[in-house]
Chain A
């Protein structure tokens, strides 16, 4: 049994549910044309600096511990959340905090940054990570990979909550938004397999770790979604 469930952390069950309104790219463009909009990329620093909508702030769904982000925009200002991937985590703590702080016009960009790019709109890369070839491991061959490689180590870059709900046996959790702070804890000299939810972030995470000196990095094809599908 490779999937391990450890239950949910208590903090995640206390926040109020978010009340954000979905907004598509066209509507967001119109809104940005006529009024002041605060754009929040909530995928964490690595993802956000790699590519974001011009003028966005880089945050993470973990939430702002000091609440500083909420100090400057007026309560009736338009706040639009988006992710570097297609969707914002529905359990996004920051989203819950915004609603709890009384912001009334909170939106979530449908399709995230990919939808923005698909519409042919510009993005900025403040600190782009050059990509490094990372071979994808088919979930069906995961067991074989574990046996074949030297010192295999699975790095799960999903959120604490997703990791807690179920992960590959032996996987260590380094959530993507905190990877730039915690990567030094990953032991060197091991063959890494980066796992995310749907392969949207694992390639970037692998490239980031390669830049930080890690070698022999692979990614799990299709992420945990692909793994679960293959396990059926």
Chain B
């Protein structure tokens, strides 16, 4: 016990020895200064200020010769606050007040010798401090400021949005800085409005931030292209954050048109019915969006439920058949089938093959540029966008690919019309529509679906197919639906102002949902069902090249499309379709391009699942 007391005594003595003389020295030096600087501010205010423990020369370090200073021969230089407040001083170097106005610490922290901690809530103190210069009518009366002055500690004071000692310098005249400003303040708004605790305490909803992120504005801003989209301060103009019901609000129906028109220069007044936070507030738009979402979810669920089940059962049946054949001693030799000297059957024309290659290229471009926007919150979104040369280039590629796909669609439509009405002959069009060469479904397809499911469970043989199977017909017709839905919605998003002359603004919200979900459906369907049915199914793995080479083996035709084989044989047309096997270059192209497409598709599928599972 004695030891503890002794150690404590020594410790206190040491502290006193080190600090008290320093304190006493400071007071002595301050007292010397006060012999001349005797005003109240130095004689009493300074001692009780936040700097009161310092001596005068702690800050006025250049006064090292009292005689010279007293005689007026040496004046004090400006104080370097950075010698103590280094971190603040470093960040202040980039502050607009120093960059634009050459302001120093004391310009804001006036009466520096009597400065004290604020005896009022800090947010109110900051508001009052900034308001000494800055016109604050909007801020104080129209939203955040009113709440701050009423004592709400969650509401934003000046520094919450503009920073404290690192206030950015943005020139409204500079496009580059306007863009940086938009990104900066949007991030600032979200830092509070996406905070669940703040929202809960203030009876607000984080839905305003979540739903903004789901719009084209939010997604494009997230992938790093704020140049062409609206951030928070573009609509919630300046410090005016009043409710939309207030006639002074920039969001009031009477003012919203003007706000939208700042960017969307060509638009009808009904464009303002676009919901920038779709579904955040329950109303007419909410119901329409809800119905659209339910429809799209229903569509996706039914398509995937049927085709994924179909795929899994098919794979199981094919695997079991392969095992049975293997056990029975059958040895498959797929390489021998590609020998050039074997006669093959023409299946696709050169035009059709070129169209398929263009379809693949445009589809991958659309998927590669569109997925980062759909999943803009993912870690890979920006990486993928930058691989296209940045967000702007990515957008350009997306639109070029969309135009190519539209042309392909229109050409296919034209070909379909010519197929139905050759030489504009109407007679017999129903026979052609439901005939074996048509891609339109018929009763036989329903029987084939039923037959396939029987075969999956070993209850019957695999159905015999003609020129087109039912899943190939679905692939083809799905494009018609898909192109209508995804193409029309895409054009609405591309030219929203022009479409506002035809439809109200909230239809653009619907278009966003349709475009996004339909893109998901198309991509996932192609990368799972289409890939399996045509390439990954065990008897074709890893690639069925006939869509690139245009022809396939007679043996394969007999096995996969027995009805067509028998029909052509009976009609005596089979020989006319026989061709030499594809050349080496054609095979090489088919293998490289086809396999690369498969790998790329599966890679994009991986990214989609990554986004769906982890975000």
Contact = CB atoms under 8 A, between A and B. Distances in A.
Contacts of A133: 110, 132-133
Interface stretch (A70-78, A94-102, A113-121, A151-159): A113-121
A111 to B, nearest CB: 9
B54 interface: no
A58 interface: no
A135 B99 contact: no
B102 A125 contact: yes
A204 interface: yes
Contacts of B171: 86
Given A130-B107, A131-B107, A138-B137, A51 B102 contact: yes
Interface string A191-220: 000000000100110000000000000000
A228 B102 CA distance: 26
Contacts of B133: 133-136, 203
Contacts, number: 48
Q: Which 4 A-B pairs have the closest CB atoms?
A: A131-B107, A133-B132, A136-B135, A51-B102
Interface in B97-119: 98-104, 106-107, 110
Interface in A127-170: 128, 130-131, 133-138, 141
A103 B104 CA distance: 38
Nearest to B96: A114
Contacts of B100: 85, 114, 200
A50 interface: yes
Nearest to B101: A203
B101 A131 contact: yes
A141 B137 contact: yes
B201 interface: no
A200 B100 CA distance: 7
A117 B98 contact: yes
B284 interface: no
Contacts of B98: 117
Contact of A118 (B78, B106, B169): B169
Nearest to A136: B135
B101 A135 contact: no
Contacts of B94: 118
B134 interface: yes
B78 A114 contact: no
A136 B568 CA distance: 89
B135 A131 contact: no
B75 interface: no
B135 A137 contact: yes
20 contacts: A51-B102, A86-B171, A114-B169, A117-B93, A117-B99, A118-B99, A125-B78, A130-B106, A130-B107, A131-B107, A133-B132, A134-B133, A135-B132, A135-B133, A136-B135, A137-B135, A138-B138, A141-B135, A203-B133, A204-B101
B140 to A, nearest CB: 12
A193 to B, nearest CB: 12
Contacts of B137: 138, 141
A130 B101 CA distance: 11
Contacts of B102: 50-51, 123, 125, 128, 204
Nearest to A131: B107
Interface of B: 78, 93-94, 98-104, 106-107, 110, 132-135, 137-138, 169, 171
User: Which of B110, B135, B138 has the most chain A CB atoms inside 10 A of its CB?
Assistant: B135
A52 to B, nearest CB: 10
Interface residues of A, number: 24
Contacts of A138: 135, 137-138
A197 to B, nearest CB: 11
Given A131-B101, A135-B133, A203-B133, 12 more contacts: A51-B102, A118-B169, A123-B102, A130-B107, A131-B103, A133-B110, A135-B132, A136-B135, A137-B135, A138-B135, A141-B135, A203-B101
Contacts of A203: 101, 133
A136 B132 CA distance: 9
Nearest to B129: A133
A125 B132 CA distance: 25
A117 B107 CA distance: 18
A50 B102 CA distance: 8
User: Which of B94, B99, B102, B107 has the most chain A CB atoms inside 10 A of its CB?
Assistant: B102
A46 to B, nearest CB: 11
B166 to A, nearest CB: 13
Contacts of A136: 133-135
Contacts of A86: 171
A232 to B, nearest CB: 11
B276 to A, nearest CB: 24
Contacts of B132: 133, 135
A138 to B, nearest CB: 5
Contacts of A114: 99-100, 169
A125 B99 CA distance: 13
Interface string A80-110: 0000011000000000000000000000000
Nearest to A120: B93
Contacts of A131: 101, 103, 107
A131 B104 CA distance: 9
A219 B107 CA distance: 16
A138 B102 CA distance: 23
A20 B115 CA distance: 48
Nearest to B98: A117
B581 to A, nearest CB: 64
Nearest to B132: A133
A128 B98 CA distance: 13
A117 B169 CA distance: 11
Nearest to B94: A118
Nearest to A203: B101
A221 B135 CA distance: 7
Contacts of B104: 128
Contacts of B106: 130
B433 to A, nearest CB: 61
A226 to B, nearest CB: 9
User: Which of A131, A138, A203 has the most chain B CB atoms inside 10 A of its CB?
Assistant: A131
A196 B106 CA distance: 25
A41 to B, nearest CB: 12
A51 B106 CA distance: 16
A136 B136 CA distance: 9
Nearest to A115: B99
B247 to A, nearest CB: 15
B250 to A, nearest CB: 14
A204 to B, nearest CB: 7
A224 B502 CA distance: 41
B192 to A, nearest CB: 25
A117 B97 CA distance: 11
A143 to B, nearest CB: 14
Contacts of A128: 78, 102, 104
